[in-house]
Chain A
Amino acid sequence: DAKTTQPNSMESNEEEPVHLPCNHSTISGTDYIHWYRQLPSQGPEYVIHGLTSNVNNRMASLAIAEDRKSSTLILHRATLRDAAVYYCILRDVGTSGSRLTFGEGTQLTVNP
């Protein structure tokens, strides 16, 4: 599996936007970029995924660099409930039913 690199931790203030970066310089053409998050004492939760184009859903936006070597998860207005570990994961499009390989993730702290 291609490797991703994320900052260990980030802080944000409530109601401000948060930009969580992810580097994946060895991404292949068939790798989707997935984001999951894990709130304290809970299982991971799917956030968003994309291949080449930017994506929006009710939870977040995903901005993908033109060369696909990096991406950014955007939370438009952070709330205290967004405090979690955020994982950026690459997953081959040909193996959609396969495992997720989690890295260390980014611990997001949201300050009131």
Chain B
Amino acid sequence: GAGVSQSPSNKVTEKGKDVELRCDPISGHTALYWYRQSLGQGLEFLIYFQGNSAPDKSGLPSDRFSAERTGGSVSTLTIQRTQQEDSAVYLCASSTYTAYEQYFGPGTRLTVT
């Protein structure tokens, strides 16, 4: 079946502009996660959605970052007033609530110039 998809695959933006990154999780998966991976760095947790519960936003690095999940499915990660340090690969993952494994998408490579 279809895996986690993300769009766009690549995004180049100018410093100060806003960007939106999209994640389509696997159908039926109630849990959705955003991570980011900066060049040469490990993966860093950003935010977690589970069903209708309040999201766990504890990993968001600043108030310029926000995310929403509409209808319990598609999620959008928004970065306002982008900075060069926001350049990274942004990865989305989904899982069923009781599953131990998370399924990752291919990521969106964001470059802020």
Give the interface of A toward B (CB within 8 A). 32, 34, 42-46, 49, 91, 96-105
B105 CB–A CB distance under 8 Å: yes
Partner of A96, one of B4, B91, B100, B103: B100
Which residues from chain B sit less than 8 Å from chain A, CB to CB?
Answer: 4, 31, 33, 35, 42-45, 48, 50, 56, 59, 91, 93, 95, 97-107
Q: Are B93 and A34 in contact (CB under 8 A)?
A: no
A-B contact list, 15 entries, CB within 8 Å: A34-B100, A42-B106, A42-B107, A43-B104, A43-B106, A46-B102, A49-B101, A97-B50, A97-B97, A98-B56, A99-B48, A99-B56, A100-B33, A102-B42, A102-B44
Residues of B within 8 A of A99 (CB): 33, 45, 48, 56, 59
A22 to chain B, nearest CB (A): 15
B104 near A105 with CB under 8 A, answer no
Contact check, A98 vs B48: say whether CB atoms are below 8 A apart. yes
B43–A46 contact, CB under 8 A?
Answer: no
Write out the residue numbers on chain B whose beta carbons fall within 8 Å of the beta carbon of A43: 4, 91, 93, 104-107
Chain B residues near A103 (CB-CB < 8 A): 42
In contact, A97 and B104 (Cβ under 8 angstroms): no
Bound CA–CA A49/B44 (angstroms):
20
